[in-house]
Amino acid sequence: MTHWPAIVAPCLGLALVLASPGWSAAADPLPAGLVELNQGNSTYRTDLLRFSEDQSWLIDGVETLFTDLYFLNLSSLAAPQELRLEDLQPVAFSQPSADRLSASFFGANLAFSLDSILLGGTPGSYRAARQETVTLTNTGSDWLDVSLFKYIDYDLQFDGVLTNNTAFFAGNTLTQTAPSGAVATLAVDQTPTAVQISPYGPLLAQLYNAPASGLQNTPGPLVDADTTAAVQFDRSLAPGESVVFKFVMEVQRQATAKAVPEPGTAFAIGIVAAGLALLRRRN
């Protein structure tokens, strides 16, 4: 196993004021440890608040994901703020069924809600999907400029080993392919302000560390790399206004046989977080 360290600056210490009477400073309602969703051939485990090496998405027992996270940049009459969900106050959490969860957070005059659904496939199909809906609401009395970042790091290991991948973004969809024929996508219902695809390490550190900054618009293709990606959405919200983003993530193993390259032809279709030395889980 190869470890990938990433040393970054200390995390932000933000004092967030709960300024809206509709959002009270209740005790943290989130369950301790990882949250788990199950359906069909699929198990998804995540820490909703922060980076975790233990996050995973198993499809027919095969690992397909290293990390996915949300980040926020806010700007109003006060100074810009770079936020993570762990900087916000948890307001509510529910898991009405094994395949669904809902969570909401509040801080800095912003309400953030997440609804996540796991769509497992038939056992043995090596295919599954997840749907996530994110709603941002300006609860303050002034306009609020918000940037939402969705970060994702697929690790496609359907051939039993981790190999370098190819990734590109087109048509509001990130597509990542592995030499084994495995394919992963992240589709969104809106056109991003920017898309950045880069090897593991710098992009995650960039999102974790101040000062708040936008993504470099590098939608790929990135070839033969341990690919990671993030999409950015910039919105200006009037007092009381909401914006909704819908994400669909899907992973599948190629069902048909791959073409055999001609002799002599080389194919390479393959293509952190804060204040700690985090070790990269790699084969």
DSSP secondary structure, 134-170, as one string: EEEEE-SSS-EEEEEEEEEEE---TTSS---EEEEEE
Q: Using CA atoms in the order 268, 217, 206, 208, what is the torsion angle rounded to 10 degrees?
A: -110
Return the pLDDT at 4: 31
CATH number at residue 170: 2.70.98.40
Least confident of 70-79, 166-175, 180-189: 70-79
- In this predicted structure, the answer to whether residue 47 has a pLDDT above a threshold of 70 is yes
End-to-end, the C-alpha distance of the chain in Å comes to 4
Residue 238 lies in a domain: yes
Residue 208 lies in a domain: yes
Q: What is the mean pLDDT of residues 149-173?
A: 93
Q: For the chain, how many structural domains are there in total?
A: 1
- In this predicted structure, the answer to whether residue 255 has a pLDDT above a threshold of 80 is no
Return the pLDDT at 256: 42
Q: What is the mean pLDDT of residues 33-48?
A: 95
pLDDT range class, residue 78, cuts 50, 70, 90:
low
pLDDT range class, residue 32, cuts 50, 70, 90:
confident
Residue 268 lies in a domain: no
**Two tokens, residue 170:** 């087109």
- In this predicted structure, the answer to whether residue 9 has a pLDDT above a threshold of 80 is no
For 262-283, the DSSP string reads PTT---------SSS-PPP---
Residue 147 lies in a domain: yes
Return the pLDDT at 7: 27
Contacts of 37 (CB under 8 A, 6+ apart): 43, 44, 45, 98, 99, 100, 101, 116, 118
Return the pLDDT at 14: 30
**Most confident of the ranges 27-31, 74-78, 153-157, 209-213:** 153-157
- In this predicted structure, the answer to whether residue 134 has a pLDDT above a threshold of 50 is yes
- In this predicted structure, the answer to whether residue 115 has a pLDDT above a threshold of 70 is yes
pTM of the model as a whole:
0.81
Return the pLDDT at 5: 32
Contacts of 233 (CB under 8 A, 6+ apart): 147, 148, 149, 190, 192, 193, 245
Least confident of 187-196, 209-218, 231-240: 209-218
Return the pLDDT at 83: 82
Residue 4 lies in a domain: no
Residue 265 lies in a domain: no
Return the pLDDT at 208: 87
Return the pLDDT at 214: 83
pLDDT range class, residue 6, cuts 50, 70, 90:
very low
Return the pLDDT at 211: 60
Residue 264 lies in a domain: no
Return the pLDDT at 203: 93
Contacts of 254 (CB under 8 A, 6+ apart): 180, 181, 182, 183
Least confident of 37-46, 63-72, 152-161, 267-276: 267-276
Residue 148 lies in a domain: yes
Q: What is the mean pLDDT of residues 11-25?
A: 36
Instruction: Name residue 255's amino acid.
Output: A
Contact 25, 17 (CB under 8 A): no
Domain interval for residue 176: 35-252
pLDDT range class, residue 23, cuts 50, 70, 90:
very low
Strands (E), 143-241: 144-154, 165-170, 173-177, 183-188, 194-199, 222-225, 227-237
